[in-house]
């Protein structure tokens, strides 16, 4: 894609694949979208997919597969124990990451469950560049404490730092000096750091983190769920990686880590997960939990068909032309939004575009959930489903006090190889219109607030009739258009 220059100098991502299977979409009229949003309690998680035009909720388990993946799924070897399918997956992981042992799991958080049970010691710390929601939950439940050590730029919405997912190595050294190496269960690095906008770390940063860990005998655990995007950024943004192949960069990243786990709903364009381990003793400890929580050691809760797809998907991840579509579409979207002054996380990361609701609707206080309100408004004016990542996603403390989130974001995930550029242009257009009419967007309040994971199931309602006004303005500006 990046290797093609257009005659008139346009900066357009060019897909190196063609689409041969399609799914028809529907776009409801705005009045029906408003109804659907009300039925979903103004929570985009509760929308039915049939009412959604472009589903940008997540890139998890919804990426398009290649014809080779689909073909491999037909050749799966169905056996409870010792299937040839498992051996193929195992051998591919060993080939790519060069770690001796592999344990399968049904998805990423299941791998986190096993790792945390075995590696988190009660009362210890787990420093990391930044947590993911399920990571934090598993570490905490096992008596550990997450310490966020992302570099300061990581939490700045706008920046030109190419690797905002880097870990602050001086802060890590300081923590070890103060608390002693034995107070740390392990250090975790997350590739394509999800919650701060899909931001990558550099290989150089990982090298430094790994050196500190090895000096003090602390294991380094890599969450490779979003590794494909991270690899792309290493290749295009990091001088020392420019002349290396994706396979070589991957090997180097794996060499620096002791344990590597992934959600194959992201890495490998399939559905599943697993853990790669170097140390035999650690492997044996973790192995005991696989039959207990996942399934037998040669499938770990995955279907054999998905395992075949992941094996091929992992191989394809080593091909730059197969992994650059996501980051390049996201970069296009972020650049176009930025040109229209729409506040968005910069530089563009992986995973998706992240709109900054704190600035987009700066008239809505955080206690009225600006990111959730913006996500609801966007769905109503476009049929596009994004995800709230702000105060609504936080949990109240024991006293019932609600923490206000560091960032109020609407995440617009870019499932890989799924949308066309004109669909992305449509999202940009509707966000542009919404930004021009942002004063019409109002706040939300709870109607039904669950105690646990409220952002998944909770139902809200608008503080006043702002959605009616938004629909009215849409009709004024767009006439009969959908």
Residue nearest to ligand F0G (CB): 108
Binding of residue 417 to ligand F0G (CB under 6 A): no
Residues 81 and 89: their CA atoms lie apart, in Å, by: 14
Is 296 one of the catalytic residues?
Answer: no
- Given the complex with ligand F0G, which of 113 and 366 has the nearer CB atom? 113
Of 13, 104, 108, 165, the one binding ligand F0G (CB under 6 A) is: 108
Residue 389: active-site member: yes
The gap between the terminal CA atoms of the chain, to the nearest Å, is: 32
Side-chain-side CA neighbours of residue 48 (13 Å): 10
Catalytic residue selected from 59, 223, 229, 258 = 223
- Whether 132 sits among the annotated catalytic residues: the reply is yes
199 lies in the site for ligand F0G, by CB under 6 A:
no
Determine the size of the site formed for ligand F0G (CB under 6 A): 15
Q: Which one of the spans 17-25, 105-113, 123-131, 327-335 is the region binding ligand F0G (CB under 6 A)? A: 105-113
- Per the CB < 8 A criterion, the answer to whether 268 and 310 are in contact is yes
- Residue 223 vs 368, nearer CB to ligand F0G: 223
223 is an interface residue for ligand F0G by CB under 6 A: yes
Scanning 71-79, 166-174, 222-230, 314-322 for contacts with ligand F0G by CB under 6 A, the matching segment is 222-230
Q: Rounded to whole angstroms, what are the CA distances from 388 to 44, 355, 410, 429? A: 8, 10, 5, 20
Nearest Cα residue to 411 out of 372, 369, 462, 460: 372
Is 317 in the active site? no
> Residue 225 Cβ, how far from ligand F0G at the closest point, in Å?
4
Shortest gap between Cβ of 68 and ligand F0G (angstroms)? 23
Closest separation between CB of residue 196 and ligand F0G, Å?
11
H/E/C letters for each residue in the chain?
CCCCCCCCCCCCCCCCCCCCCCCCCCCCCHHHHHHHHHHCCCCHHHCCHHHCCEECCCCCCCCCCCHHHHHHHHCCCCCCCCCHHHHHHHHHHHHHHCCCEEEEECCHHHHHHHHHHHHCCCCCEEEECCCCHHHHHHHHHCCCEEEECECHHHHCCCCCCCCCCCECHHHHHHHHHHHCHHHECCEEEECCEHHHCCECCCHHHHHHHHHHHHHHCCCEEEECCCHHHHHHHHHHHCHHHCCCCHHHHHHHHHHCCCEEEEECCCCCCCCCEEEEECCHHHHHHHHCHHHHHHCCCCCCCCCHHHHHHHHHHHHHHCCHHHHCHHHHHHHHHHHHHHHCCCCECCCCCCCEEEEEHHHHCCCCCHHHCHHHHHHHHHHHHHCEECEEECHHHCCCCCCCCCCCCCCCEEEEECCCCCCCHHHHHHHHHHHHHHHHCHHHCCCEEEEECCCCCHHHHCEEEECCCHHHHHHHHHHHHHCCCC
Q: Site for ligand F0G (CB under 6 A): which residue of 109, 164, 354, 417?
A: 109
Looking at the DSSP bridge assignments, the partners of residue 348 are: none
The residue annotated as part of the active site, out of 389, 411, 417, 459, is 389
Active site annotation includes 455: yes
Distance of alpha carbon 434 from alpha carbon 361, whole angstroms: 10
Minimal distance, residue 265 CB to ligand F0G, in Å: 4
- Is 20 labeled as catalytic in the residue annotation? no
Active site residue 133: yes
Q: How far is the CB of 263 from ligand F0G (least distance, A)?
A: 3
Find the binder of ligand F0G among 107, 142, 202, 210 (CB under 6 A): 107
Write down the least CB distance from residue 139 to ligand F0G, Å: 12
Q: Which of residues 116-135 bind ligand F0G (CB under 6 A)?
A: 132, 134
Tell me the closest approach of the beta carbon of residue 351 to ligand F0G, in angstroms: 7
Given the residues 58, 455, 459, 474, the one annotated as active site:
455
Of the candidate residues 51, 148, 168, 190, the single one contacting ligand F0G (CB under 6 A) = 190
In the complex with ligand F0G, which residue's Cβ is closer, 213 or 310?
310
Catalytic residue among 33, 88, 188, 266: 266
* Binding-site member from 116, 230, 263, 324 for ligand F0G (CB under 6 A): 263
CB of 188 to ligand F0G, least distance (A): 10
Q: Which of 142, 166, 225, 382 binds ligand F0G (CB under 6 A)?
A: 225
Q: Of residues 58, 85, 210, 366, which one binds ligand F0G by CB under 6 A?
A: 58
| Catalytic residue of the set 45, 77, 133, 207 | 133
Query: Six-digit token pair at 214?
Result: 């090895």
Give me the least distance between CB of 108 and ligand F0G, in Å please: 2
Q: Of 102, 132, 186, 419, which one is the catalytic site residue?
A: 132
Task: Kindly tell me which of 51 and 223 has the beta carbon lying closer to ligand F0G.
Answer: 223
Binding site for ligand F0G (CB under 6 A): 58, 60, 107-109, 132, 134, 190, 194, 223, 225-226, 263, 265, 273
**Catalytic amino acids?**
80, 132-133, 223, 266, 389, 455
């Amino acid at each position: 894609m990046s290797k093609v220059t257009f005659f008139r100098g346009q900066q357009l991502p060019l897909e190196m694949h063609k689409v041969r299977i399609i799914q028809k979409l529907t776009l409801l009229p705005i009045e029906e979208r408003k109804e659907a949003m009300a039925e979903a309690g103004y929570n985009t998680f509760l929308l039915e997919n049939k009412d959604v035009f472009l589903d940008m909720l997540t890139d998890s388990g919804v990426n398009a597969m290649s014809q080779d993946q689909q073909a491999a799924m037909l050749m799966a070897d169905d056996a409870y124990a010792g299937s040839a399918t498992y051996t193929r997956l195992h051998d591919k992981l060993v080939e790519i990451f060069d770690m001796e042992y592999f344990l399968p799991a049904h998805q990423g958080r299941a791998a986190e469950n096993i790792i945390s049970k075995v590696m988190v010691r009660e009362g210890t710390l787990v420093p990391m560049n930044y947590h993911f929601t399920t990571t934090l939950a598993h570490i905490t439940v096992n008596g550990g404490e997450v310490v966020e050590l992302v570099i300061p730029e990581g939490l700045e919405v706008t920046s030109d730092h190419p690797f905002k997912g880097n870990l602050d190595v001086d802060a890590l050294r300081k923590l070890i000096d103060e608390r002693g190496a034995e107070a740390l269960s392990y250090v975790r690095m997350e590739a394509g750091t999800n919650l701060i906008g899909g931001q990558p770390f550099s290989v150089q940063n990982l090298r430094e983190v790994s050196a500190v860990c090895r000096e003090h005998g602390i294991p380094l655990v890599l969450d490779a769920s979003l590794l494909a995007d991270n690899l792309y950024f290493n290749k295009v943004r990091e001088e020392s990686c420019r002349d290396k192949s994706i396979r070589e960069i991957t090997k180097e990243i794996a060499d620096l880590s002791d344990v590597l786990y992934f959600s194959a709903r992201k890495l490998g364009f399939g559905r599943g997960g697993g853990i790669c381990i170097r140390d035999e003793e650690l492997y044996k400890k973790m192995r005991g939990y696989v039959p207990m929580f996942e399934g037998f050691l040669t499938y770990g809760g995955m279907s054999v068909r998905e395992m075949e797809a992941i094996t091929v998907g992992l191989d394809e991840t080593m091909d730059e032309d197969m992994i650059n579509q996501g980051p390049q579409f996201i970069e296009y979207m972020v650049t176009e939004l930025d040109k229209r002054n729409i506040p968005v996380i910069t530089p563009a990361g992986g995973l998706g575009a992240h709109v900054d609701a704190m600035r987009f609707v700066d008239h809505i206080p955080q206690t009225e959930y600006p990111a959730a309100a913006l996500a609801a408004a966007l769905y109503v004016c476009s049929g596009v489903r994004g995800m709230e990542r702000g105060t609504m996603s936080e949990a109240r403390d024991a006293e019932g006090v609600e923490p206000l989130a560091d960032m109020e974001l609407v995440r617009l995930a870019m499932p890989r190889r799924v949308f066309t550029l004109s669909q992305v242009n449509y999202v940009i257009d509707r966000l542009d219109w919404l930004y021009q009419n942002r004063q019409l967007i109002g706040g939300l309040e709870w109607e039904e607030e669950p105690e646990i994971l409220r952002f998944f199931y909770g139902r809200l309602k608008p503080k006043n009739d702002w959605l009616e006004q938004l629909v009215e303005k849409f009709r004024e500006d767009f006439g009969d258009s959908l």
